[in-house]
């Protein structure tokens, strides 16, 4: 392709709302354009890369025995009502009506639909296993779309669903997909870590997230520096932190005017944070949940949800909900409180091991000191559970080794769903004894557009993107220093044709711009390899090959260019 024909409009100024590197560079280099909040157009450069990612996904999934299909994006409400998720999905689901006033949604995921699809077709264990996938736009009406392609409202996803006769079959499929995912992300050039994760609203028991390690990631990961243990901190099980035993002092109320955060109280009373307890109040539907952790710990919302067997993710309680259960914001502790139908108290295990700590007195501008949970809480009437977030001060739950934290972009997830959807939607098969059984399902997602963004987050420098060769929009760019110079253009065109015939994905920058502009664009767009054709080197029948990744520049005889390019690309 010729750069003069390529539709890749670059921007001089960065849009003010580009909040991560991948978005900034993709906007500046003409990869994407924002059409509306969380809605992006992919221009030719980005689309070339997306199609390469899709190609890798297809090859690996086909090799793992999955088959590509395409289901509708528009899904009838009925199947979501059957599974019980029509309401559970809340405002994130985009809903619509047709002209006959039938209800539909734009699929955020396709468990209901695929289960409905296969349940009419698969009747016998002989037809199992089946693994079907599609690559398709998905829709989530994010409250605050951000981070460019990483959290948009319309995004490209590969979703796959497996159906097996039993758990053992599912285990095999899960392993196949786990391995396929490892291959896919490796082939895309990503540094990716599979971590244990929470199954969230989708249900199921066993799941791993594939995390592209990057500062811009929204997920916090904890991993062991000694063994293979790695988990989303949401799921990382913290140990119980014990405090040195002290004589129990008498519970006492102190005035703490305006000190409605635990930090303010600790400062006012000159207490270390671990000698305080803090309260976070959630709600799941109509139930208010008071969560208590030590002042130096953070609440794990997922653990809170599990502790109360919540169907949906907890949200922060509203002021009205606090009032309804008699809580005074900023001054809450479980002392003197009891659970009820509409009110749960969940206390972290480590809180129960504290002595003489400070917490809210359940009235304005006042705190208790010398709280001793085992003495002062209604211990028969609260839930004690590990609800704090694990930190790198904990030890590895598997081997006791030291833990480290990092940030990750979730680019893929594999789930063992079990029979949740097959039971809800009646997808049964007859086993070898002629008895009906629900199919055992797995589901497997890859964020295709997010993978594109994650690659940029991992591979860039101050000048632009540094594409892994496998997903670069073009593998090689040829830059004649001066496109008006016939000799340079002739050599460039010869090399271009030679590389093209050899199957190299190459762009010839035939634009009449100054060399500096073309070099800057090449760096910004991030082609793995640049071939510079200049008078200088041409005198000795050479051109310069420059590797974007490390800046290495090699003068190469024109006759050897093809061989050298192929050799270098192997390493990129």
Q: How far is CA 226 from the centre of its chain?
A: 25
Widest distance between CA atoms in the chain: 93
| Residue of 14, 17, 39, 253 that binds a copy of itself (CB under 8 A) | 39
Residue of 532, 525, 538, 568 whose CA lies nearest to 550: 568
Going by their DSSP bridges, the two strands 440-447 and 357-360 should be labelled as: unpaired
Phi, psi of 523 (to 5 degrees): -70, -45
Residue 173 token pair: 């499929």
Stretch that binds a copy of itself, among 1-9, 16-24, 398-406, 518-526 (CB under 8 A): 1-9
Binding flag, residue 47, a copy of itself (CB under 8 A): yes
Q: Is 50 in the site for a copy of itself (CB under 8 A)?
A: yes
Does position 141 interact with a copy of itself (CB under 8 A)? The reply is: yes
Does position 428 interact with a copy of itself (CB under 8 A)? The reply is no
Does 503 participate in binding a copy of itself (rule CB under 8 A)? no
Q: Is residue 277 within 8 Å of 371, Cβ to Cβ?
A: yes
Q: Which residues on adjacent β-strands are paired with residue 353?
A: none
Token readout for 191 is 């540094």
Residue with smaller CB distance to a copy of itself, 207 or 422 = 422
Name the residue nearer to a copy of itself (CB basis): 107 or 295.
107
φ, ψ dihedrals at 466, nearest 5°? -130, 90
Query: Least CB distance from residue 1 to a copy of itself, whole Å?
Result: 9
Could you tell me the smallest distance in angstroms from the CB atom of residue 88 to a copy of itself? Answer: 16
Residues 87-116 that bind a copy of itself (CB under 8 A): 91, 94-96, 98-99, 102, 104, 106, 113, 116
- Residue 70, interface with a copy of itself (CB under 8 A)? yes
Hunting for tokens 């000190």 — which residue is that?
259
Q: How far is the CB of 74 from a copy of itself (least distance, A)?
A: 6
Contact 68, 133 (CB under 8 A): yes
| CA-based torsion, 505, 510, 515, 518: positive or negative | negative
Select from 23, 75, 491, 534 the one that contacts a copy of itself (CB under 8 A). Answer: 75
Q: Least CB distance from residue 434 to a copy of itself, whole Å? A: 19
Establish if 147 lies at the interface with a copy of itself (CB under 8 A): no
Stretch that binds a copy of itself, among 31-39, 396-404, 485-493, 525-533 (CB under 8 A): 31-39
Among 18, 20, 40, 185, binds a copy of itself (CB under 8 A): 40
Does 477 help bind a copy of itself (rule: CB under 8 A)? no
User: Pattern 150-169, binding to a copy of itself, x per CB under 8 A?
Assistant: ---xx---------------
* Using rule CB under 8 A, residue 57 touches a copy of itself: no
CB-wise, 42 or 229, nearer to a copy of itself? 42
446 CB-near residues (< 8 Å, 6+ apart): 57, 157, 158, 159, 181, 184, 210, 411, 412
Closest CA to 416 of 173, 211, 89: 173
End-to-end CA distance of the chain: 21
d(CA 259, CA 96): 47
Residue 79 and residue 113 in contact, taking contact as beta carbons nearer than 8 Å? yes
- What's the closest the beta carbon of residue 48 comes to a copy of itself, in angstroms? 8
**What's the sign of the alpha-carbon dihedral 378, 379, 382, 386?**
positive
Q: Which residues here bind a copy of itself, judged by CB under 8 A?
A: 5-7, 9, 33, 35-36, 39-44, 47-48, 50-51, 65, 67-76, 91, 94-96, 98-99, 102, 104, 106, 113, 116-117, 120-122, 130, 132, 137, 139, 141, 143, 153-154
């Amino acid at each position: 392709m010729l750069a003069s024909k390529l539709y890749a409009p670059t921007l001089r100024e960065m849009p003010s709302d580009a909040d991560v590197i991948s978005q900034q560079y993709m906007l500046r280099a003409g990869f994407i354009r924002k059409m509306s909040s969380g809605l992006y157009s992919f221009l030719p450069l980005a689309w070339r890369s997306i199609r390469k990612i899709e190609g890798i996904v297809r090859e690996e999934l086909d090799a793992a025995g999955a088959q590509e299909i395409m289901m509708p994006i528009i899904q009838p409400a009925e199947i979501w009502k059957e599974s019980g998720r029509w309401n559970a999905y809340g405002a994130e689901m985009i809903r619509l009506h047709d002209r006959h006033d039938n209800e539909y949604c734009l699929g955020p995921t396709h468990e209901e639909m695929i289960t409905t699809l296969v349940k009419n077709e698969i009747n016998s264990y002989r037809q199992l296993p089946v693994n079907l996938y599609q690559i398709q736009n998905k829709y989530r009406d994010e409250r605050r779309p951000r981070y460019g392609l990483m959290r948009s409202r319309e995004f490209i996803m590969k979703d796959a669903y497996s159906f097996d006769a039993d758990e053992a079959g599912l285990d095999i499929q899960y392993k196949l997909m786990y391995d396929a995912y490892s291959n896919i992300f490796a082939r895309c050039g990503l540094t990716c870590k599979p971590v244990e994760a929470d199954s969230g609203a989708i249900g199921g028991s066993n799941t791993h997230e594939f995390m592209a390690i990057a500062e811009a990631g929204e997920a916090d990961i904890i991993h062991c520096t000694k063994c293979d243990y790695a988990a989303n901190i949401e799921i990382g099980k913290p140990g119980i932190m014990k405090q040195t035993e002290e004589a129990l002092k008498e519970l006492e109320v102190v005035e703490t005017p305006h000190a409605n955060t635990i930090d303010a109280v600790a400062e006012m009373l000159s207490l270390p944070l671990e000698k305080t307890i803090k309260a976070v109040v959630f709600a799941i539907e109509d139930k208010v949940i008071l969560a208590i952790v030590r002042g130096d710990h953070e609440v794990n919302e997922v653990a809170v949800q599990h502790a109360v067997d919540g169907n949906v993710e907890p949200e922060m309680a509203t002021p009205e909900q606090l009032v309804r259960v008699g809580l005074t914001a900023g001054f809450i502790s479980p002392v003197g409180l009891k659970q009820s139908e509409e009110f749960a108290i969940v206390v972290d295990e480590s809180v129960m091991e504290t002595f003489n700590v400070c917490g809210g007195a359940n009235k304005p501008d006042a705190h208790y000191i010398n709280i001793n949970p085992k003495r002062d809480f209604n211990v028969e009437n609260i839930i004690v559970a590990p609800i704090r977030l694990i930190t790198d001060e904990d030890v590895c739950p598997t081997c006791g080794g030291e833990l480290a934290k990092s940030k990750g972009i979730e680019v893929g997830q594999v789930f063992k769903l079990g029979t949740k959807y097959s039971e809800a939607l009646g997808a049964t098969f007859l086993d070898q004894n002629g008895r009906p059984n629900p199919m055992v399902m797995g589901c497997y997602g890859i964020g295709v557009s997010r993978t594109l963004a994650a690659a940029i987050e991992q591979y860039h420098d101050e000048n632009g993107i540094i594409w892994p060769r496998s997903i670069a929009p073009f593998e090689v760019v040829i830059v004649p220093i001066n496109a008006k110079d016939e000799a340079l253009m002739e050599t460039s065109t010869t090399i271009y044709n030679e590389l093209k015939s050899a199957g190299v994905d190459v762009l010839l920058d035939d634009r009449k711009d100054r060399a500096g502009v073309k070099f800057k664009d090449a760096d910004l767009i991030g082609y793995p390899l640049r071939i510079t054709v200049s008078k200088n080197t041409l005198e000795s029948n050479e051109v310069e090959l420059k590797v974007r990744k490390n800046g290495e520049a090699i003068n190469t005889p024109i006759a050897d260019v093809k061989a050298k390019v192929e050799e270098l690309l192997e390493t990129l």
